[in-house]
Amino acid sequence: MKSACVMFGAALLAGCVSFSEDGGFGVVGDAVKSRTGQEAVWVRSDKDGDSVRFRVKELLAQPLTAESAMQIALLNNPGLQASYAEMGIAEADLVQASRWSGPTFSFARLRRGDEIEYERSVFFNLLGLISIPLSTKAERQRFESAQARAAGEALKLALETRKAFFSAVAAEEGVRYMEQVKLAAEASADLARRMAAVGNWSKLNQAREQVFYAEATAQFARIKQARVAARERLTRQMGLWGEDLRFALPERLPDLPKVAREAGDLEAQALAQRLDVQGARRETAALAASMGLTQISRFVNLLEFGLIRNTESPRPPQRGWEVELRIPIFDFGGARVVRAEQLYMQSVNRVAEAAIRARSEVRETFSAYRTSFDLAQHYRDEIVPLRKRISEEMLLRYNGMLASVFELLADSRNSVMSVNAYIEALRDFWIAESDLQAALTSGSPGAMAGGSKAIAMPAAGGAAH
């Protein structure tokens, strides 16, 4: 009996898995760091919480950048912290799978007249012990899949925060330039009203200036609301509230890069780096391992080995062993095997689908990236300089009394709107660049946040006067 207990104890200790110190978060942190350059933290104690709050306050003390906004979101977003719990649950399942359920003890006391009989037995679930390596392997692969999903959620949040940052900065710039349009329209409308009052301006021309001012006022109200919405979206991504809402944004978007990135072999890069593809592969491997366990336990539901010791007065004790093998008569495990096979084939097809989707999304997002780069570059190098040249010439004509004040104001409005269109094109480029990063590293980038379409501007009135 002692040798049997030693054997079972050795087998049990060999298969045990213990909880890791960081809950497996090191893999997630490394994946996020290598892809974004930012640090991810799993807040699991009051000390961690205090450290995160101090770091967030430190980052908010300066005007935000795209990188600092991502860092704050990775540290402070409560939804992301909640998603990390799935990884902890998966590790708990792994540790549980590596531990044997233990022996079963039974004790009986029987009486026949003056005779008393005691029956003691210990049963060991041999099938559960034998299958520990397979079940542990399957749960380990599921745990690794949970780590990949957690890293994917962190990357998704970081990249969405980056997009929200660019949208918020562009909205701030748009409000400033639209305010200039509104002021110019107001000045033009006021001048037209005073000139019409003394008979030097027609009612038609006055109405044109007045309607442009009215439309500019309405558009200014819309773009101010768009600024609020963009800033609040960024606030939600970073998980801020209270006094932290007074964070400062930079005055302008980052400049357009000198050159755009080349296509290269982006599809292969996506298949190697994308976490959704890696997670699908791990889940398929886990199902393959679980199929082996299903095949082993197909015909046997229970295999137990027991040690028995009976005492009956006044006879000497009885010692022996017993094996219990439960074989189902009506269920031979065929349904469980078929189910496992179908789950495996389903997972295989999902891996293929993930690979096809990754390739397609990389091609699509790279096309959007190059188009937005070329468009922003066109505004920067062609349209905005031309508008500046026209404004300079218009100012010369006005100083030479060859152009009216209304023409000067109309040209000023057109110049401001061209600059505003360049800001929107620059914003769209940085959003497209973020989408490309998402398609290469984490998963489906989805629709661009904050919208990429320019707000329709009123046609400049009085330009022909």
Q: Is the confidence at residue 228, as pLDDT, over 80?
A: yes
Distance CA 48, CA 433 (A): 33
2-441 architecture in CATH?
Answer: Up-down Bundle (1.20)
- The residues, any chain, with a CB within 8 Å of residue 323's CB and separated by 6 or more, are 303, 304, 305, 306
Question: What does the pLDDT read at residue 95?
Answer: 75
Give, rounded to a whole angstrom, the gap between the first and last alpha carbons of the chain. Answer: 109
Closest CA to 253 of 364, 176, 182: 176
Q: Is the confidence at residue 57, as pLDDT, over 90?
A: yes
Question: What does the pLDDT read at residue 150?
Answer: 86
Distance CA 357, CA 351 (A): 10
pLDDT digits 0-9 by tens, 327-362: 554 444 556 666 666 776 776 777 777 788 888 888
Domain boundaries, the chain: 2-441
Question: What does the pLDDT read at residue 291?
Answer: 59
Distance CA 84, CA 82 (A): 5
337-357 residues labelled b (16+ CB within 10 A) or e (exposed): eeebeebbeebeeebeebbeb
> Residues 386-409: what's their mean pLDDT?
75
Distance CA 89, CA 143 (A): 9
Which range of 120-129, 149-158, 347-356 scores highest in mean pLDDT? It is: 149-158
Beta bridge pairs of residue 309: 120, 319
**pLDDT tier for residue 165 given thresholds of 50, 70 and 90:** very high
- What is the side-by-side strand order in the sheet with 104-112? 104-112, 115-125, 302-312, 318-326
**pLDDT tier for residue 296 given thresholds of 50, 70 and 90:** very low
Q: Is 293 left (phi over 0), alpha (psi -120 to 50) or beta?
A: alpha
Beta bridge pairs of residue 121: 106, 308
pLDDT digits 0-9 by tens, 1-24: 455 454 445 444 445 667 677 777
> Residues 187-214: what's their mean pLDDT?
82
Q: How many CB atoms lie within 10 A of CB 213?
A: 24
Whether 155 and 30 have beta carbons less than 8 Å apart is answered as no
Q: Is the confidence at residue 371, as pLDDT, over 90?
A: yes
Q: Is the confidence at residue 175, as pLDDT, over 80?
A: yes
**Out of 43-57, 347-361, 444-458, least confident range:** 444-458
